[in-house]
Structure 1
Amino acid sequence: MTLADFCAHCLSLPQVEETTPFGPDVLVYKVAGKMFALTTPDEYPPSANLKCDPERAIELRDRYEDIQPGYHMNKRHWNTLILESSLPTKLVKELIGHSYQLVVSGLPKKLRETLRSDSQ
């Protein structure tokens, strides 16, 4: 998956905004003000950090060389994916959705319901 495709897929999810709270060099994707993905566009090879269930994070790292513990993040809850690598696009999209859902599941019920109604 290209970096442009990664960014576009993140922005296609309900109520996602692209922000730069760490400066212009880091793109952060948030839902309801909570971060679920980030990337540094000028890095090569391009990579992205995504939230992940801790047990699944370990399983993914063991299975895929291009999934590593989250760079500059809590390594228990974040993975770094090397984009434009051997990772299947379908898997990257699924992991973006997983990260998004982890954040959404932690939101207050009323806010979660608003997100659900926007996605229908």
Structure 2
Amino acid sequence: MAKEHAKGDVVRVIKAVGEPSRPMRLPLPSGLLPKGSNHIYITVADESDRTYQIACSPKGLKEITLGRGWQRFYHDYKLQPFNILLFKHKGRDDFSVRIFQSPGVERTYAASGDDFGDLTPPQERSCS
């Protein structure tokens, strides 16, 4: 039986992006999100620090499925099915996300300077 996370533990989930038409399912410990929560907030640590509210619903006790808002995030960041996402729980329903092109190569973005947050093509940066 899997052990529940202890208070103060940092919860991280690594997932392949997959196809945009298929739901993204995140394996998360039960009780991680606030009771009755039906969304999460994800922020990519890029120069724009844009935050996306993404609907979620429980799928059993150990998984949530991302819904409304997921496809917009997918398209805004020009994700590909082979990209890898690292979700880090920051508390309550907040997550930071890092995007990887391939193992060890993180995608980074330069802010375009406009208010709409359009993104320039990704640049590659090695992770240390």
TM-score above 0.5: no
TM-score (norm 1): 0.27
- Judging by fraction of residues, say which structure has more helix: 1
Flag the structure with higher strand content: 2
TM-score, normalised by the number of residues in structure 2: 0.26
Larger radius of gyration: 2
